[in-house]
């Protein structure tokens, strides 16, 4: 499959077969890495890593994935370049596109990453925006495939803030790949209706379902329960209000038992605020899988770079 020159801005832009190809490529690169085998598909490639928001997993994954394949990553923090301040995003994109072979962006506005892709002329990868987090979904789906041996037909429940970038992206990816997906959240935090409609169309084509509910009983039969922080970066002033609203949706042992399955796994994109969205005991019980998921950020991000930029 040829994805050369493509940008990854949202999984909406990729077919189910293309998403599965990236997951399978990541699994292959992971196997090789465990055997001490790295590649040189990014040899001679220079990659700009633009970070408006700080990061542990995204930064480390892009850096190590790039170096493993022989490339050179250059970190550009918000104080290192003039992105959208003294220089327009369009002009910065055109400068970076002349110097670098690929660009990663992690920040606030989806519009910024889309302008970088439009004006740079090189592949651009979304390391997180307020709307979408596509590289995280690839890591989540690789983890699910490792645990269950398949994706299609699984039941995945996202519990918490149902209109954040993780809920949006999991809904898109699940719809495309035939995962039965439920967002369990208070009505005031349900996702945008137009996106739900689009994802239901994906799910109809794949033979799965998308459900949005505030009923805790919806976790019954879940293969995986997923949560994220209750306050995303930039929403710290809403913390008290959000905690009060989401307290009934905490992932605790009682919620896990409501699935009726001993095999149900817990997933979290990290960092976790234990005691808020998940209790310490549930997190630690499932920590091996959660940290597999964190490691898989690197393997899936490497796969994206190799597939879209590699020789």
pLDDT at residue 240, as a whole number: 87
pLDDT at residue 238, as a whole number: 78
pLDDT at residue 56, as a whole number: 97
pLDDT at residue 78, as a whole number: 87
How far, in Å, CA of 237 to CA of 260, rounded? 37
- Is 106 part of the annotated catalytic residue set? yes
Domain ranges of the chain: 11-133+297-309, 137-293
pLDDT at residue 82, as a whole number: 78
Q: Residues forming the annotated binding site?
A: 55-58, 82, 106, 133-136, 165, 228, 232-233, 269-270, 297
Q: Which residues on neighbouring strands pair with residue 106, listed in sequence order?
A: 51, 128
pLDDT at residue 85, as a whole number: 78
pLDDT at residue 272, as a whole number: 97
Considering the segment(s) 137-293 as one domain, its CATH architecture is: 3-Layer(aba) Sandwich (3.40)
- Is 133 part of the annotated catalytic residue set? yes
How far, in Å, CA of 158 to CA of 288, rounded? 19
Instruction: Report whether the peptide linkage leading into residue 157 is cis, meaning its omega lies within 30 degrees of zero.
Output: no
- Is 163 part of the annotated catalytic residue set? no
Fold entry, domain 11-133+297-309:
Rossmann fold (3.40.50)
Instruction: Catalytic residue, from 228, 231, 242, 268: name it.
Output: 228
pLDDT at residue 209, as a whole number: 98
pLDDT at residue 292, as a whole number: 98
Instruction: Catalytic residue, from 6, 59, 68, 106: name it.
Output: 106
pLDDT at residue 237, as a whole number: 79
Instruction: Catalytic residue, from 6, 68, 136, 286: name it.
Output: 136
pLDDT at residue 39, as a whole number: 96
What Cα–Cα distance (Å) separates residue 35 from each residue in 21, 30, 31, 55, 66? 21, 9, 7, 28, 18
Cα dihedral 103/105/111/112 (nearest 10): -80
Question: Do the domains 11-133+297-309 and 137-293 sit in the same CATH topology, yes or no?
Answer: yes
Instruction: Catalytic residue, from 66, 199, 231, 269: name it.
Output: 269
Q: Residues forming the annotated binding site for L-ornithine?
A: 165, 228, 232-233
- Is 297 part of the annotated catalytic residue set? yes
pLDDT at residue 1, as a whole number: 92
Residues of the chain short of pLDDT 50, as ranges, are none
């Amino acid at each position: 499959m040829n994805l050369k020159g493509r940008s990854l801005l949202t999984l909406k832009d990729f077919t189910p077969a293309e998403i599965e190809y990236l997951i399978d490529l990541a699994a292959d690169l992971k196997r090789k890495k465990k055997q001490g085998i790295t590649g040189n598909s990014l040899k001679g490639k220079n990659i700009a890593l633009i970070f408006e928001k700080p990061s542990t997993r995204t930064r480390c994954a892009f850096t190590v994935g790039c170096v493993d394949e022989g490339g050179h990553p250059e970190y550009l923090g918000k104080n290192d370049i003039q992105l959208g301040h003294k220089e327009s995003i369009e002009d910065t994109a055109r400068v970076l596109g002349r110097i670098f072979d690929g660009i990663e962006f992690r920040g606030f506005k989806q519009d910024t990453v889309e302008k970088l892709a439009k004006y740079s002329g090189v592949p651009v990868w979304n390391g997180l925006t307020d709307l979408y987090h596509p590289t995280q979904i690839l890591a989540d789906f690789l983890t699910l495939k490792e645990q269950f041996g398949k994706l299609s037909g699984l039941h995945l429940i996202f519990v918490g803030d149902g209109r954040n970038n993780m809920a949006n992206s999991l809904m898109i990816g699940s719809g495309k790949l035939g995962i039965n997906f439920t967002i369990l959240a208070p009505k005031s935090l349900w996702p945008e209706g137009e996106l739900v409609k689009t994802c239901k169309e994906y799910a109809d084509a794949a033979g799965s379902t998308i459900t949005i509910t505030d009923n805790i009983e919806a976790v019954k039969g879940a293969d995986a329960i997923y949560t994220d922080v209750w306050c995303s970066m930039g929403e710290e002033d809403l913390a008290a209000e959000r905690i009060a609203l989401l307290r009934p949706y905490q992932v605790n042992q009682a919620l896990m038992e409501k699935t009726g399955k001993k095999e149900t796994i817990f997933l979290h994109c990290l960092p976790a605020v234990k005691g808020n969205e998940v209790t310490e005991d549930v997190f630690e019980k499932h920590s091996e899988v959660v940290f597999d998921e964190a490691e898989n950020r690197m393997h899936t991000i490497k796969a994206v770079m190799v597939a879209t930029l590699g020789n």
